[in-house]
């Protein structure tokens, strides 16, 4: 069988483990992959572990014993997070992003896989210690953020619909009051999509008054879900009193004015 140099093994190990976050993989699997002794693989993993820790790019955990192995936990260090969020806030603060009605255009950034993956890693870093079983969001703009968060946490994503779908079977639907538009709207979740009593994290793109987030929490009560936390990419400073009290926001919208065209978004402190 072909023998691989240590540098080649490290490249392949890094690629494989970062593409399978939080998945426990046995040393025997890598031993067969590289035709190398487990002791050799262990030495490779020590190098990888120390490098990732030094760069604050993640944690490599090893579990001893017959049922043990190694798993990669993606994290983003405080310094890297600060640089990313500062850059994203500058992109979002461009005056040309203001659209009629005083709204903020952010769809292009939300659906950029690089941006959503980095934001998802930040959310995962904050919620991983709570051991969630599933990530929840509502269609549609929050889906990329929630999907990347779910990937980093190695858990499924469940999407709440704005209406029920025949193709998804029976659903639970509720009416809720939008905190921003003050209109009654509907959200729906298929009964098969979520088991009773699951530990969930809610992720969304934007929060103004918190009506949508409150609606999601009320819908999840119908499934006896244990909501561990709520994360949003951007929240507004006003109104200060949200309909949801406990949430994490990565950025805050300080001010937006259609005339003159002015917008200020900054990382949340």
User: For position 167, what pLDDT does the model report?
Assistant: 81
Q: Say how far apart CA 176 and CA 231 lie, in whole Å.
A: 19
Structure tokens belonging to residue 219: 């819908």
Please give the share of the chain, as a percent, with pLDDT higher than 90. 77
Q: Is domain 6-74 classified as CATH 1.10.10.10?
A: yes
Q: Say how far apart CA 159 and CA 189 lie, in whole Å.
A: 8
User: For position 166, what pLDDT does the model report?
Assistant: 79
Asked whether 25 and 17 are in contact (CB, 8 A), the reply is yes
Q: What is the pLDDT of residues 99-152, one digit of tens each?
A: 988 889 999 999 999 999 999 999 999 999 999 999 999 998 999 999 999 999
With tokens 């009593």, the residue in question is 197
Q: What is the pTM of this model?
A: 0.88
95 has a pLDDT exceeding 80: yes
The SS3 assignment for 16 reads helix
Average per-residue pLDDT in the chain? 92
Q: What is the pLDDT of residues 138-193, one digit of tens each?
A: 998 999 999 999 999 999 999 999 887 778 889 999 998 876 667 888 999 999 99
User: What number of CA atoms fall less than 13 Å from residue 203's CA on the CB side?
Assistant: 34
The SS3 assignment for 258 reads coil
Structure tokens belonging to residue 109: 């950034």
Structure tokens belonging to residue 197: 């009593």
User: For position 259, what pLDDT does the model report?
Assistant: 84
Structure tokens belonging to residue 46: 């020590």
Asked whether 160 and 28 are in contact (CB, 8 A), the reply is no
Q: Say how far apart CA 56 and CA 75 lie, in whole Å.
A: 7
With tokens 């603060």, the residue in question is 93
Mean pLDDT to the nearest integer, 86-103: 94
- Classify domain 78-267 by CATH number: 3.40.50.2020
User: What number of CA atoms fall less than 13 Å from residue 34's CA on the CB side?
Assistant: 23
214 has a pLDDT exceeding 70: yes
Query: Domain segments of the chain: what residues?
Result: 6-74, 78-267
Mean pLDDT to the nearest integer, 76-85: 92
User: For position 65, what pLDDT does the model report?
Assistant: 78
15 has a pLDDT exceeding 70: yes
1 has a pLDDT exceeding 70: no
197 has a pLDDT exceeding 70: yes
Asked whether 180 and 115 are in contact (CB, 8 A), the reply is no
Distance of CA 79 to the CA centre of its chain: 19
141, burial (CB in 10 Å: exposed 0-12, middle 13-18, buried 19+): middle
- Between 63 and 190, residue with greater pLDDT: 190
Asked whether 264 and 234 are in contact (CB, 8 A), the reply is no
Q: Say how far apart CA 109 and CA 92 lie, in whole Å.
A: 9
What is the DSSP-derived secondary structure letter of residue 70?
E
Length of the chain counted residue by residue: 269
């Amino acid at each position: 069988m072909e023998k691989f140099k240590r540098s080649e093994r490290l490249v392949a190990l890094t690629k494989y483990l970062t593409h399978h976050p939080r998945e426990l993989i046995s040393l025997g699997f890598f031993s067969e992959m590289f035709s190398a002794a487990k002791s050799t693989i262990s030495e490779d993993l020590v190098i990888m572990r120390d490098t990732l820790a030094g760069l604050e790019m993640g944690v490599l955990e090893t579990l001893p014993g017959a049922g043990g192995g190694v798993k990669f936990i993606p994290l983003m260090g405080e310094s890297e997070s600060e640089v990313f969020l500062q850059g994203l806030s500058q992109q979002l603060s461009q005056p040309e992003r203001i659209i009629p009605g005083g709204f903020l255009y952010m769809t292009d950034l939300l659906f950029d896989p690089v941006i959503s993956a980095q934001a998802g890693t930040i959310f995962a870093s904050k919620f991983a210690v709570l051991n969630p079983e599933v990530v929840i969001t509502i269609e549609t703009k929050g889906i990329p953020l929630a999907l990347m968060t779910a990937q980093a946490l190695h858990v499924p994503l469940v999407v709440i619909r704005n209406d029920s779908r025949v193709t998804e079977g029976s659903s639970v639907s509720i009416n809720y009051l939008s905190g921003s538009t003050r209109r009654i709207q509907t959200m729906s979740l298929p009964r098969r999509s979520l088991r009773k009593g699951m530990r969930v994290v809610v992720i969304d793109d934007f929060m103004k008054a918190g009506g949508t987030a409150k609606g999601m929490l009320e819908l999840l009560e119908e499934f006896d879900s244990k909501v561990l936390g709520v994360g949003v990419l951007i929240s507004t400073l006003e109104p200060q009193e949200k309909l949801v009290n406990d949430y994490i926001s990565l950025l805050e919208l300080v001010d937006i004015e259609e005339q003159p065209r002015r917008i200020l978004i900054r990382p949340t402190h």
